[in-house]
Amino acid sequence: MTKFQLEIAEKIIHALYSLTPPPTPTAQSVRQQKANKVLQDVIRTMFASSFVNELFRPQEMYTSSSTRQIFNKLAHSSIMRINETSMDKLYDLMTMGVKHQWVCCNVPQQMIQNTFNHLTAMGVIAEGSEVMELVEVRGRGRTRSEATNIGGASKAKERSV
Give how many domains the chain has, as a whole number: 1
Please determine, for residue 106, whether its predicted confidence score (pLDDT) is greater than 90.
yes
* pLDDT of amino acid 56: 85
**What average pLDDT score do residues 120-125 get?**
84
Please determine, for residue 96, whether its predicted confidence score (pLDDT) is greater than 90.
yes
* pLDDT of amino acid 123: 83
Q: What is the pTM of this model?
A: 0.59
Read off the pLDDT band of 153 (50, 70, 90): very low
Read off the pLDDT band of 156 (50, 70, 90): very low
3-state class (DSSP) for residue 104: coil
**What average pLDDT score do residues 33-40 get?**
83
Cα–Cα distance measured from residue 31 to residue 60, given in angstroms and rounded to the nearest whole number? 41
Q: 154 with 146: CB under 8 angstroms?
A: yes
Residue 76, φ and ψ in degrees, nearest 5:
-100, 15
Cα–Cα distance measured from residue 27 to residue 40, given in angstroms and rounded to the nearest whole number? 20
- What percent of the chain shows pLDDT beyond 90? 12
Please determine, for residue 23, whether its predicted confidence score (pLDDT) is greater than 80.
no
Q: 132 with 123: CB under 8 angstroms?
A: yes
Structural domain containing residue 84:
3-160
Q: Crossing angle of helices 108-126/131-139, nearest 10°?
A: 160
